[in-house]
Amino acid sequence: MRKMMKMTLAVLASLALTPAVATASLRVGSPFPGTVTATTNYSSGAFHGAVDIASGSGCSYWGVETGVYASLSWNVTIRTTGVVCNGNGSGNQNEVKHTFANGYTFRQWHFLKEPTSYDRTCDRCQIGDEGGTGNASGPHTHMQYDINGSNNTSWYSSYTTKGEFLDRGETVGYIQ
């Protein structure tokens, strides 16, 4: 018994000396109920590097939420105020983004401006309604995690697949 106690204490002491590894990850949930229509590659095979989710309800589906489950400051950029369902040109997408301390940025695009479309700090706040602003072929939300334009696909690659239906808040992936 005494030998077992000594071994247990030795193991506990060695754990106390082992540095803790910081693996804080943040869960990303679906901004509304919808189907994943694109992930790493488009149907054409061209690189996409993000997750697209469409409600299938058409333009103006109510209540697009920020994807990341954490109280973060979100910068909302409105480039169009009209109802745009099928694109109005590259660079004209409405965007919400948060930049992390590691330099990565999480962005969501294509939503329609609503009274809820303003800069703020929140956890899963509504940012607008589903739309197709910018370079879009139809209403959906584009969710992207990148640094200097290099899209990181690891945050969703083992969690979400094209064609999968996700309920509001269901896990899309995890970012670190």
Q: Which residues of 52-72 are buried (b: 16+ CB within 10 A; e: fewer)?
A: bbbbeeebebebbbbbbeeeb
Q: Per residue in 32-66, pLDDT tens?
A: 999 999 999 998 999 999 999 999 999 999 999 99
pTM: 0.85
The confidence band for 176, taking pLDDT boundaries of 50, 70 and 90, is confident
Which domain, by its residues, includes 62?
Answer: 2-175
- Mean residue pLDDT of the chain comes to 89
Q: Per residue in 82-122, pLDDT tens?
A: 999 999 999 999 999 999 999 999 999 999 999 999 999 99
The confidence band for 7, taking pLDDT boundaries of 50, 70 and 90, is very low
Q: Would you state the pLDDT for residue 18?
A: 35
Q: What is the CATH number of the domain that holds 120?
A: 2.70.70.10
Domain count along the chain: 1
Q: Would you state the pLDDT for residue 149?
A: 87
- Listed in order, strand segments (DSSP E) in the chain are 26-29, 34-38, 51-54, 64-65, 72-77, 95-99, 105-109, 120-122, 126-128, 141-147, 150-151, 165-166, 171-175
